[in-house]
Homo-oligomer: A and B are copies of this chain.
């Protein structure tokens, strides 16, 4: 299972890109994968192929209208049971309580 944060930035779309981000979030929601929307990107949890298939669909969606799209992806790939979207933050907070 991977936890994966990604963000896409179309060039030539002007200063505001929230409409383009919304198109991607729609695709993420339709995928059914657990996800979080943050101020800096979208975080997904799933198998490698599931996650990268979603990212590719988002890229295809934006490339329909834009010649150039920059994409940033960070993956935390770990042998672990699902639920890490909540588990990772909880694990840090448990340590904070004891500090």
Binding site for B on A (CB under 8 A): 3, 5, 7, 9, 11-15, 17-19, 21-23, 25-26, 36-41, 43, 48, 52, 56, 59, 63, 66-79, 84-86, 88-89, 91-93, 95-96, 99
Contacts and interface: CB of A to CB of B under 8 A. Distances in A.
A18 B67 contact: no
The majority secondary structure among interface residues of chain A is mixed
A52 to B, nearest CB: 6
A19 B23 CA distance: 30
Contacts of A48: 56, 59
In the A-B complex, list the 6 residue pairs whose CB atoms are closest, starting with the nearest. Answer: A22-B95, A71-B75, A73-B73, A39-B88, A5-B40, A68-B78
